[in-house]
Amino acid sequence: MEHKKQTSLSLLKAFTCAIITMGVMAIAHAQDAKVDPSGTWVWTNPGRGGNPGSTNTLVLKYSNDSLTGTLKAPARGGKTISTEISDGKLAGTQISFNVTRTYGTNTAVRGYTGTVSADAIKGTTSSIGRDGEKRSNKWEAKREASGTK
């Protein structure tokens, strides 16, 4: 009878260890899961003084752990500026990249960070203003359905 109790106790311990191990592995796998941000993302910046906002279009490509893309934004005179992103990174669901633009002799870098889900990127942008102060704004892009635009 004593031998049966020890065997049952050993099986119970082994079963408990197996369940704990599977739980830890599931958590680790979930943390490693990445959302594929490839596709077209659109958002509108608020306009100044009650004017309509400007719509931005971000086209991302994620392949072989490399994040690349192009940001298309309105410019003066109804034109559109296309700028390649740099320093693109994706870690799990956390995304980051920079957009560098040159205006005459001035260069401005805006950093974008956020959390990617299946249909949205929510985060903040940061840049240095003309006054030298760091500025940040919230941004939220929506994934555009494939086949449009």
Structure-token pair, residue 28: 């680790």
- The CATH number of residue 46's host domain is 2.40.128.30
Same domain, 118 and 79: yes
Same domain, 28 and 53: no
What are the φ/ψ torsions at residue 22 (nearest 5 degrees)?
A: -65, -40
Domain of residue 112: give its range: 39-143
Q: Please report, as a single letter, which amino acid is at residue 23.
A: G
Give the long-range contacts of residues 97-101, CB within 8 A, separation 24 or more. Answer: 97/67, 97/69, 99/71
Residue 45's pLDDT is: 85
Q: Which regions in the chain score pLDDT beneath 50?
A: 12, 17, 24, 26, 28-31, 148-149
| Cβ atoms 56, 73 nearer than 8 A | yes
Output the CA–CA distances (angstroms, integers) from residue 23 to 26, 33, 147, in the order listed: 5, 15, 40
Same domain, 120 and 57: yes
| Cβ atoms 55, 71 nearer than 8 A | no
The rounded distance, in Å, linking the Cα atoms of 49 and 138 is 19
Same domain, 48 and 88: yes
Any domain includes 149: no
Residue 30's pLDDT is: 45
Count CB neighbours of 74 within 10 A.
15
Residue 102's pLDDT is: 86
Helix, strand, or coil (residue 12): helix
Establish how many alpha carbons lie within 13 A of residue 5's alpha carbon, considering only the half-sphere containing its beta carbon. Answer: 2
Structure-token pair, residue 103: 């205006």
